[in-house]
A = this chain, B = another copy of it.
Amino acid sequence: MNRRPRTAVTLADVAEVAGVSKAAVSGVLNGKPRVAPSTAQRILDAARTLGYHANPTAQQLRSGRTNAIGFVIPELNRPYFGELATHLANQLDAQGQHLVIQRSGGSKEHELAAAQFAQLRRYDAVILSVLGVDPPDLESLGFSIPLILLGEKSMPGAHPQVIMDNEAGAHNAVTHLLTHGATRIVMLGGSHSPDRNDMTRRRTDGYRSAHCDTNHPLNEELIVELTGVGPEAGYHAITTLIDAGTPFDAVFAVTDVVAIGAMRALADAGFTIPGDVQVIGFDDITDGCYTIPRLSSVNPHKERIAQAVLDLIAEPETAPQAVTIPTTLTLRESTQR
């Protein structure tokens, strides 16, 4: 009478129909050649007839393995992460795994953290884009699965990490501007507080060092903090700057998305790009190839980042603790030649 325990067909059902043990069914379905071909065929037939599908939850509880890699990102609608995720997913699909994406942001940071991090134990490994998460937080969570940090700056801790060379990238971009006629460069989305250790801060450091290395004066008023990460933040900040009468002849935006908002604000105010104002973004997203003018940008080499992450996952111990991926500068139409 318990042929249908709930609604789904279980492995036990298949075993019963095929007249074999559950172990035999499990073996055949997982490609372990433990039984005679005739038995295997009988099992396969029974499974198909019943419409059996393995319960991944039970499989994981028993075997400890999933074929899923979690990727935790701060926002779901950011082109940079979308493109990076695509690279990761392509590689993982090819090796029979799959990528699963979750958002870490949302309303309150830490409230989510507690509940959400627990859920990450469902994955074989987790790629975590660190923003507000501090090392002590991570340790206190008692992470038992491989965790790869995708970050801005080397963080002390026991987890391997792939870090983008933010400072060098920003340095190159700003140096290019300074050596191509710019004297007053807005750092759009920069950071004034020296205690922060995030992407914003790292890129501002590069902005500063570029001025220093080329003996250009640096105006703190040109380092503009942003309240958001979307194009509207860049648009609003540039509009405010123009309205205030602050002169500038270039914009280095913390991300391409922000740069796109900035370019719109410049166009609305009647400035030409790159004639009146040059613009460089960061991330080299695809959208930048279709803006008017096409956006020059710091290319973080997402495909290399993805590869480095997967390598780190593949070789848990032997790999170096922190891999830094260098950036290059992609010049398009928003900067002077």
Contacts and interface: CB of A to CB of B under 8 A. Distances in A.
When all copies of this chain in the complex are counted, the total is: 2
A180 interface: no
A141 B9 CA distance: 12
A246 B213 CA distance: 54
Interface stretch (A60-68, A160-168, A170-178, A275-283): A60-68
B67 A76 contact: no
Given A112-B93, A119-B56, A290 B260 contact: yes
Contacts of A103: 86, 89, 98-99
Nearest to A48: B140
Contacts of A144: 7-8
A82 B76 contact: yes
A182 to B, nearest CB: 22
A156 interface: no
Contacts of A227: none
Nearest to A140: B51
Given A86-B75, A89-B76, A102 B100 contact: yes
Contacts of A121: 53, 55-57
A331 B260 CA distance: 20
B101 A76 contact: yes
Contact of A86 (B7, B54, B76): B76
A230 interface: yes
Nearest to A58: B61
A106 interface: yes
A264 interface: yes
A8 B143 CA distance: 9
Contacts of A267: 292
Given A89-B76, A106-B89, A118-B53, A264 B292 contact: yes
Contacts of A100: 100-102
A291 B291 contact: yes
Nearest to A119: B56
A51 B142 contact: yes
Nearest to A88: B76
Interface in A66-118: 67-68, 75-79, 82-83, 85-86, 89-90, 93-94, 96, 98-103, 106-107, 112, 115-118
A134 interface: no
A286 interface: yes
A314 interface: no
Give me the 6 closest cross-chain CB pairs, A-B, nearest first: A77-B82, A101-B101, A51-B142, A264-B290, A76-B85, A292-B292
Given A56-B119, A56-B122, 7 more contacts: A56-B121, A57-B121, A58-B61, A78-B82, A79-B79, A291-B291, A291-B292
